[in-house]
């Protein structure tokens, strides 16, 4: 499958899911671990992170099974949120942020749904919901065509 068709197939013609996935993949890239060609760690704080990947490049380096897993988790989370009118009323207005916060919260990164952006009653419920999903991490090496989701 070509790079172009792999990216095109990632769009689901579901605006809500697409917005959520945009934020989700941004957060996944931001929290990823990446090594340079020699196996030495690259650090976002030193501006080295951009040598690893961005959200579009991430899609190209993941296996389809990993992409499907990420999308399935996003869908399940959004379905839970949509089934609760009170949650959906708040989340639907900032789905990209919700995607980022979903990743940060599920993986315990010290920020996410409970960092003060969302109303308190909502953030507690979103945090509990995100914690139902297993933690995951992304690892890669600059210049390689494979990224590992664990």
Q: Does residue 140 carry a pLDDT above 60? A: yes
Crossing angle for the helix pair 64-82 and 15-30, to the nearest 10 degrees: 120
Which range (13-17, 23-27, 57-61, 75-79) has the least confidence? 57-61
SS (H, E, C) 42-110: CCHHHCCHHHCCCHHHHHHHCCHHHHHHHHHHHHHHHHHHHCCHHHHHHHHHHHHHHHHHHHHHHCCCC
Tell me: pLDDT of 146 over 80. no
The span from the CA of 40 to the CA of 78, in Å, is 37
CA dist 35 and 12 (Å) reads 32
Share of the chain above pLDDT 90, in %: 38
Interval 39-45 mean pLDDT = 56
Tell me which of 93-97, 116-120, 125-129, 141-145 is least confident: 141-145
Read off the pLDDT of residues 50-105 as tens digits, 9 standing for 90 and up.
Answer: 545 555 566 666 777 888 888 999 999 999 999 999 999 999 999 999 999 999 99
Give 110's pLDDT tier (boundaries 50, 70, 90): confident
- Is pLDDT above 80 for 109? yes
Contact status, residue 9 vs residue 87, Cβ threshold 8 Å: no
Provide CB contacts within 8 A for 42, sequence distance 6+.
34, 35, 36, 48, 49, 51, 52, 142
**Predicted TM-score (pTM) of this structure:** 0.77
Which has the minimum average pLDDT: 25-39, 94-108, 126-140? 25-39
């Amino acid at each position: 499958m070509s790079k172009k068709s792999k990216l095109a197939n990632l769009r689901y013609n579901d605006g809500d899911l697409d917005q959520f996935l945009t934020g989700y993949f941004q957060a996944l890239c931001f929290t990823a671990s990446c090594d340079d060609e020699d196996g030495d760690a690259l650090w976002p704080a030193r501006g080295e992170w951009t040598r690893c990947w961005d959200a579009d490049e991430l899609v190209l380096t993941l296996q389809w099974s990993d992409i499907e897993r990420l999308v399935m988790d996003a869908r399940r989370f959004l379905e839970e949120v949509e089934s609760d009118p009170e949650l959906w009323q708040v989340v639907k207005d900032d789905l990209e942020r919700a995607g980022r916060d979903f990743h940060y919260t599920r993986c315990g990164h010290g920020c996410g749904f409970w960092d003060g952006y969302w109303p308190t009653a909502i953030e507690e419920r979103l945090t509990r919901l995100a914690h139902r999903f297993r933690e995951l991490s992304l690892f890669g090496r600059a210049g390689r065509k494979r990224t590992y989701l664990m």
